[in-house]
């Protein structure tokens, strides 16, 4: 009986430790993924000696996500106080980036030939 109770307590403890991302966490992960893309693009363009308006790009990203850099920084600070949740948010952002990369790497198949003929000759 004690073994069963101990296993039950361990099982419940493991379940309660699982962090589920809220809608706010999901939105932040999407924003963070976009910001990471801007940083990568900035580095790539800068290495080639070209100019890139990083701040303008970041402002557009914040606008698309209906937030500001101040709100981003405040939420980012909150995640620093919850390392386990921050890790989950980072994992989610990387997962989003992986999905984007997969989609961009997919070959676009050629259009299907039309099954009808526009010529009245036939």
Contacts of residue 103, Cβ cutoff 8 Å, sequence gap at least 6: none
What is the domain range of residue 91? 22-103
In a domain, 80, yes or no: yes
Q: Say how many domains are in the chain.
A: 1
Average pLDDT rounded to a whole number, residues 41-59: 69
In a domain, 60, yes or no: yes
Interatomic CA distance for residues 16 and 38, integer angstroms: 36
pLDDT in tens, 25-40: 999 999 999 999 888 7
Contacts of residue 80, Cβ cutoff 8 Å, sequence gap at least 6: 86
pLDDT in tens, 54-84: 678 889 999 999 999 999 999 999 999 999 9
In a domain, 1, yes or no: no
In a domain, 5, yes or no: no
Average pLDDT rounded to a whole number, residues 99-119: 59
In a domain, 90, yes or no: yes
Interatomic CA distance for residues 6 and 11, integer angstroms: 9
pLDDT for position 44: 62
In a domain, 72, yes or no: yes
pLDDT for position 111: 52
Confidence category of residue 100, pLDDT binned at 50, 70, 90: confident
113 has a pLDDT exceeding 70: no
In a domain, 10, yes or no: no
Tokens 């900035």 sit on residue: 42
99 has a pLDDT exceeding 60: yes
In a domain, 115, yes or no: no
């Amino acid at each position: 009986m004690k073994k069963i109770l101990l296993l039950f307590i361990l099982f419940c403890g493991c379940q309660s430790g699982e962090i589920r991302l809220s809608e706010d966490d999901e939105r932040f992960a999407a924003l963070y993924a976009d910001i990471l893309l801007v940083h990568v693009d900035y580095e790539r363009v800068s290495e080639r000696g070209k100019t890139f308006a990083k701040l303008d790009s970041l402002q557009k990203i914040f606008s698309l996500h209906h937030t500001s850099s101040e709100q981003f920084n405040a939420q980012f600070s909150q995640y620093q106080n919850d390392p386990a949740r921050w890790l989950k948010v980072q994992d989610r952002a990387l997962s989003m980036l992986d999905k984007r990369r997969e989609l961009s790497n997919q070959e676009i198949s050629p259009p299907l030939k039309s099954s009808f003929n526009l010529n009245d000759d036939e």
